[in-house]
């Protein structure tokens, strides 16, 4: 997997690495050091009390994750969510509840390894539902999107909770109109849940917010629809404590399918629309907003078809727009097809990367110091053509999980799918 140049070590129990300035406060218990929020008493990694010396970060592989009942065409790893000791992997073409009805596999970290604990399907699962197309995880709450469920592709979202021993279905939220694709994207944070329905309004799209817990979820405001009718609005979602980022990758404002991102900001108890975000160098078919991530005040946006190779844009409220690319990018890499960020770390999925084989894929890793720096890449230990490693990514503290939904199983299980897990540790 290779060594990657170091920045400061940090503990996964703290959300550090947020940008700061004299005019921007850090979270309680953290101090602004060289424009980075760090736990008080530590420094930014240039030496000193409590900090790692500038040695190498090591991406340590924890192995490939496969389903214990892997079957041809399941495409495990097309969606990923991770929080603490739990990792959820979507297999939206699993056939247990009907052909391509879908499933989600729950893995728990135990003694440094990820162990499969449970397979989840919808209680009313049916053919072609696509359960597991989108997943979100926060503590003991798991949200699963099934955008093709119900009256043709109206869509549905399922809420599961963990009682200390078992994940169980608690609620079902339904799309309203055929072809809404309700559940194509989902996000959850505490008692708030967001659902993208990019097919609503004949393809304009909408986002619906809910407030609740367990079996009870009530609408939290009406449907949010952009005033300028951005096509595909709600194709991607991310949520922090008080902000929702919404991808609209087919928006035509700055060129055909150039893309955009909208933000909803919580003002007291109400969600308010914030400024629309577009790339400063936007071009036709970039599809900016295909992937979005939030880490505190940081917004990360993937534009996987920008200049045919892809790019990632970072906005932190203090330094404007930062554009990240790879030095060795090639056409159809799809750099930015998936993004995830936590603390000072940022992972970028590059599922079209051909270095290990045609579209074998990779994940580019960046870390925030004085600026964003690429610190290396990870790939599957034995890459083969069309693995699409990096089609989905998740970062939680120093834990990294990567989906490769087109990975063939063994023996001869075409596109059964898989995932890979890593620890990013300061050696």
Please give the chain's pLDDT, 427 residues, in tens.
332 333 333 332 223 445 555 545 665 555 665 455 554 433 433 333 333 322 355 788 999 999 999 999 999 999 999 999 999 999 999 999 999 999 999 999 999 999 999 999 999 999 999 999 999 999 999 999 999 999 899 999 999 999 999 999 999 999 989 999 999 999 999 999 999 999 999 899 999 999 999 999 999 998 999 888 678 999 999 999 999 999 999 999 899 999 999 999 999 889 999 889 999 999 999 999 999 999 989 999 999 999 999 999 999 877 789 999 987 788 999 999 999 999 889 999 999 999 999 999 999 999 887 788 888 899 999 999 999 999 999 999 989 999 999 999 876 689 999 999 999 876 6
Confidence (pLDDT) at 21: 54
- Residue 396 to residue 13: CA distance in whole angstroms: 9
Cα-Cα end-to-end distance for the chain = 14
**How do beta strands 418-426 and 103-110 pair?**
unpaired
- Residue 258 to residue 282: CA distance in whole angstroms: 6
CA dihedral 371, 241, 161, 422 (to 10 degrees): 0
**How do beta strands 3-4 and 141-146 pair?**
unpaired
**How do beta strands 362-368 and 345-350 pair?**
antiparallel
Q: Can you tell me which residue has the tokens 């500038």?
A: 54
- Residue 344 to residue 146: CA distance in whole angstroms: 32
Question: Is the separation of the CB atoms in 298 and 346 below 8 Å?
Answer: no
CA angle, residues 121, 152, 80, in degrees to nearest 5: 40
CA dihedral 295, 301, 304, 305 (to 10 degrees): -170
Contacts of 267 (CB under 8 A, 6+ apart): none
Confidence (pLDDT) at 231: 83
Structure-token pair, residue 420: 């890979």
Nearest of 355, 350, 295 to residue 326 by alpha carbon: 350
Helix (H, G, I), strand (E, B) or coil at 306: helix
Confidence (pLDDT) at 274: 87
Helix/strand/coil percentages in the chain, nearest 5: 0, 50, 50
Helix (H, G, I), strand (E, B) or coil at 348: strand
- Residue 43 to residue 2: CA distance in whole angstroms: 26
Domains and CATH numbers, the chain: 62-426 (2.130.10.130)
- The length of the chain, given as a count of residues: 427
CA angle, residues 296, 299, 303, in degrees to nearest 5: 155
Q: Can you tell me which residue has the tokens 């045609």?
A: 358
pLDDT tens-place string over residues 238-267: 999 999 999 999 999 899 999 999 999 999
Q: Is 173 exposed, middle or buried (0-12, 13-18, 19+ CB in 10 A)?
A: buried
- Residue 46 to residue 49: CA distance in whole angstroms: 10
Question: Is the separation of the CB atoms in 73 and 114 below 8 Å?
Answer: no
Confidence (pLDDT) at 35: 52
**How do beta strands 298-303 and 57-65 pair?**
unpaired
Structure-token pair, residue 199: 């097919």
């Amino acid at each position: 997997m290779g060594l990657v140049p170091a920045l400061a070590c940090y503990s996964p129990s703290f959300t550090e690495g947020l940008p700061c300035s004299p005019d921007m406060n850090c979270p309680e218990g953290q101090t602004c050091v060289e424009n980075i929020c760090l736990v008080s008493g530590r420094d930014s990694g240039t030496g000193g009390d409590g900090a790692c010396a500038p040695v190498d970060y090591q991406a340590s592989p924890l192995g490939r994750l496969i389903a214990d009942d892997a079957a041809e065409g399941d495409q495990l790893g097309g969606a990923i969510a991770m929080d603490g000791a739990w990792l959820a992997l979507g297999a939206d073409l699993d056939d247990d509840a009907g052909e391509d009805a879908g499933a989600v596999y729950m893995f728990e970290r135990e003694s440094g390894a990820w162990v499969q604990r449970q397979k989840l399907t919808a209680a009313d699962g049916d053919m072609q539902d696509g359960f597991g197309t989108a997943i979100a995880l926060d503590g003991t709450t798991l949200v699963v999107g099934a955008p093709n469920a119900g009256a043709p592709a109206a869509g549905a979202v399922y809420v599961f909770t963990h009682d200390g021993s078992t994940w169980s279905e608690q609620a079902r939220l339904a799309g309203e109109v055929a072809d809404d694709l309700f559940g194509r994207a989902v996000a959850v944070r505490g008692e708030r849940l967001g659902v993208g329905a990019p097919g609503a309004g004949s393809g304009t799209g909408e986002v619906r917010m809910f407030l609740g817990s367990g079996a009870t979820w009530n609408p939290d405001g009406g449907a949010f629809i952009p005033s300028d009718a951005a096509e595909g609005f709600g194709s991607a979602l991310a949520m922090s404590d008080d902000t929702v980022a919404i991808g609209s990758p087919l928006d035509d404002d700055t060129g055909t399918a150039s893309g955009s991102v909208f933000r909803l900001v919580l003002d007291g108890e109400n969600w308010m629309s914030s400024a629309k975000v577009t790339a400063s160098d936007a071009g036709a078919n970039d599809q900016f907003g295909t992937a979005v991530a939030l880490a505190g005040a940081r917004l990360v946006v993937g534009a996987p078809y920008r200049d045919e190779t892809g790019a990632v844009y970072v906005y932190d409220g203090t330094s404007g727009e930062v554009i990240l690319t790879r030095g060795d990018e090639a056409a159809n890499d799809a750099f930015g097809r998936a993004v995830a960020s936590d603390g000072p770390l940022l992972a970028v999925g590059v599922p079209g990367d051909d270095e290990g084989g045609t579209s074998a894929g990779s994940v580019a890793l960046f870390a925030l110091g004085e600026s964003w720096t690429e610190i290396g890449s990870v790939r599957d230990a034995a890459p083969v053509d069309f693995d699409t490693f990096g089609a989905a990514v998740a970062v939680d503290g120093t834990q990294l999980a990567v989906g490769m939904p087109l990975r063939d199983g063994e023996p001869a299980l075409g596109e059964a799918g898989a995932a890979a897990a890593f620890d990013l540790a300061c050696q």
